[in-house]
Amino acid sequence: MSQPKEIFVKTDRCVGCLSCTIACAVEHSKSKPLFGAISETPVPKSRVYVQWVEPEGKVPLVCRHCEEAPCMYACISGAISRDENGVVITDKDKCIGCWTCVMVCPYGVIGRHLEEHKAYRCDRCPDREIPACVSACPTGALVYDTVDSFSGKVRKHASRELLLAEGG
């Protein structure tokens, strides 16, 4: 079975341009292109967040779609489930807006849709091969990859650093 891909974050790459948040909101709009999306009501919402951490930290955060997703276990209305691709999804019809998922999410990446009275979060862009935020990221801070491939690249980098440190 092929491994599912995740959205990984390279925190040292983020320059805080917020391109990911714009792309996410546009992808989740009705009209899609930016110029149409900006005049929609309700305003299309981004599901990716770029958090500012003093003095210079800029950290993109998005739903990790945790294997043991706390939100899924905590949801009292049974609205949260995992689809066949491993994506944790909230069934809007079942969501009662109790925000228990918000309370238990360790990343704080579940939002409140004020107009719909529902929780919303990253859905990994089901219509796209690569999530919109990842495509939009101009610096490669967001990476869409499998765990094996991603950690393989990290190992390769670490090995190179190790050899350099040893005077290689």
How far apart CA 133 and CA 8 sit, in angstroms, is 11
User: Does residue 18 touch other proteins according to CB under 8 A?
Assistant: yes
Helix (H, G, I), strand (E, B) or coil at 10: coil
User: Does residue 15 touch other proteins according to CB under 8 A?
Assistant: yes
Query: What residue spans of the chain are helical by DSSP H?
Result: 19-27, 34-37, 70-74, 100-104, 132-136, 147-165
In the list 45, 58, 82, 113, the residue contacting other proteins (rule: CB under 8 A) is 58
Q: Which is nearer to other proteins, 34 or 96 (CB)?
A: 34
- We find the least distance from the C-beta atom of residue 163 to other proteins, in angstroms, to be 19
The residues in 100-159 that bind other proteins, with binding defined as CB under 8 A, are: 138-140
Terminal CA-to-CA distance of the chain, rounded, Å? 38
Q: Which is nearer to other proteins, 13 or 64 (CB)?
A: 13
**101 contacts 119 by C-beta, under 8 angstroms:** yes
**Interaction site with other proteins (CB under 8 A):** 13-18, 50-52, 58, 138-140
